[in-house]
Amino acid sequence: MSKDHGIRRGLTNYGDKDFAQYLRNSFARSMGISKEMLGRPIVGIAMTPSGFNNCHRDMPQLVEAVSRGVLASGALPLPFPTVSLGEVFLNPTSMVYRNLMAMDTEEMISAQPMDAVVMIGGCDKTVPAQIMGALSADLPAIQLVTGPMSTGRHRGERLGACTDCRRFWGKHRAGEVDAEEIALVEGRLATTAGTCAVMGTASTMACIAETLGLSLPDSAAIPAVHADRLVAAERSGVAAAAMISRPIRPSEIVTKKSIENALRVLMAVSGSTNAVVHLAAIAGRVGVSISRERFNQISDETPVLVDLKPVGEGYMEDFHAAGGVGAVLQEIKHLLHLDTVDILGQTLGERLAQPIEWVDRRVIRSFADPVSPVGGLIALQGNLAPDGAIFKRAAATPGLFETEGRAVVFESLEDLSKRVDDPALDVEANDILVLKNAGPIAAGMPEAGYLPIPKKLAQKGVKDMVRISDARMSGTAFGSIVLHIAPEAAVGGPLAAVRNGDRVRLSVANKSIELLVSAEEIAERLKHLPARNDPKRGYRALYARSVMQAPDGCDFDFLIHGGAADGA
């Protein structure tokens, strides 16, 4: 092994290299690793177990299986921890900490002596954070996901987090499910290790990681508790060890072409709106950007093929059994760039030259017989969102695609929770609910864009309304919801100018979102915005100073390709 590999890599700086090597060897041997083993190439394993992350419950088994593969290939596995982000355990929202995890991942890969790395993540923000970090560290890297949960049962019905969480909560708010039943359901929604059981953000990002070429073929959808999940972990260890002598760097794998392929898959699986933000951040790490026009072109050309919740019927376990990402890629092969490469060194064309054994057409439809002829997501633009917004048409009510309505405005998340269920709230079913100050800087961009239907309307049977905000929405949610409005209200985006009673127009046909108020009046209103009160210390101050808007993936300006100077 060369001088710059394994335990000899990146010595601690004491001004005496030989001393640094001698000291490191000595301390490494205190871990009970033999001198022979210490002479081997090293595969780091970025592990993310946490008592605050249910989705990573099976991490110890996965680390063990990766280690087995690495050892069998003649290399030394060395697991190390990084930040872990459990979606529902973080305040104000996990999105604030994705960049912290990306920085941690990048720095620990770069600073510690390893020749390749397997990163194990799963829950929503962990996979994008690990990919972002790996791209910037640019050491041979493999993404392994923890895999989706299996479904639970309630009175003969299959349940999966978290689309069914929302469905039952909606029924509870409407008075259709009583307190006793909702307490029963609470214990039946998330019953195994793994990530949310539907095509939410975690599953979407797993499909994207595989499409980009950063995960093993056919690994994205294997259920967390399936034996094949451990086999995929073992094989990831083998593949990582093989990458040491045949290095393929993440920056060779993630290119404009592979990002476009990932966008195609995002459309075909009808994936999460959050993935749009994460893919923009991933693209930004390699200096790639995808225009709104190209995004919409890809959406209009790529049909929805996968029939899973939150939009359709099935769960991730069905998707795996039906053929998984490989079956989707086969159906849209003619739309893909086939010369992208993956961690195994094969091109996508070579991967897809191998036929699929069987496809369950109830779950993964053929190109000729899609769930929907166009993709699930579109980018909107207009005077209310000069830098864009996102709309998940696949999860919306077609009858609301062309809506002009009266704005019912909530100034903040606090205002929303205080007033939305107030019986005195002046709101009708054909109004448009507007939430301000829930963007990246104002609130860390929480998944608050799925505004609840005001209780008095829900109890009358109203199931959907047009709702608009600068927030995000859970990948497991559904409804006619305009998200990620940019610029956000807190930085003076026109969203800040909307007042109760203004007319707002959504047009899916025109891909536009408009505030029907004159440009002069909007400019006048924006002169009188309240001053921001950004945090002054610690990570939150760094966040407020550096976070970019949704179209730039909410990455920090100094972390993008080339750093802040390029991005300014």
Which parts of this chain interact with ligand FES (CB under 6 A)? 55, 87-88, 123-124, 195-196, 200, 202
Report residue 204 as tokens.
Answer: 């979407």
**Residue 300 CA: distances (Å) to CA of 199, 235, 370, 374, 385:** 20, 37, 13, 5, 21
Question: In the complex, what is the shortest distance from the CB of residue 537 to ligand FES, in angstroms, rounded to a whole number?
Answer: 29
Question: In the complex, what is the shortest distance from the CB of residue 127 to ligand FES, in angstroms, rounded to a whole number?
Answer: 10
Question: In the complex, what is the shortest distance from the CB of residue 128 to ligand FES, in angstroms, rounded to a whole number?
Answer: 12
Q: Of 188, 104, 105, which is closest to residue 150 (Cα–Cα)?
A: 188
**Residue 138 CA: distances (Å) to CA of 25, 129, 259, 385:** 26, 14, 17, 35
Q: Which is nearer to ligand FES, 196 or 263 (CB)?
A: 196
**In sequence order, which residues have a C-beta less than 8 Å from that of residue 407 and are 6 or more positions away?**
431, 432, 434, 498, 499, 500, 501, 502, 503, 504
Question: In the complex, what is the shortest distance from the CB of residue 146 to ligand FES, in angstroms, rounded to a whole number?
Answer: 9
Q: Which is nearer to ligand FES, 162 or 490 (CB)?
A: 162
**Backbone dihedral angles phi then psi of residue 142, each to the nearest 5 degrees:** -125, 135
CA distance 111 to 517: 54
CA distance 71 to 81: 19
Torsion angle of alpha carbons 508, 509, 515, 519, nearest 10°? 140
Q: Which is nearer to ligand FES, 195 or 469 (CB)?
A: 195
Q: Which is nearer to ligand FES, 48 or 195 (CB)?
A: 195
Q: Which is nearer to ligand FES, 105 or 204 (CB)?
A: 204
Question: In the complex, what is the shortest distance from the CB of residue 6 to ligand FES, in angstroms, rounded to a whole number?
Answer: 34
Question: In the complex, what is the shortest distance from the CB of residue 477 to ligand FES, in angstroms, rounded to a whole number?
Answer: 12
Question: In the complex, what is the shortest distance from the CB of residue 86 to ligand FES, in angstroms, rounded to a whole number?
Answer: 6
**In sequence order, which residues have a C-beta less than 8 Å from that of residue 223 and are 6 or more positions away?**
147, 148, 149, 150, 192, 194, 229, 316, 317, 320
Three-state helix/strand/coil letters over 490-510: HHCCHHHHCCCCCEEEEECCC
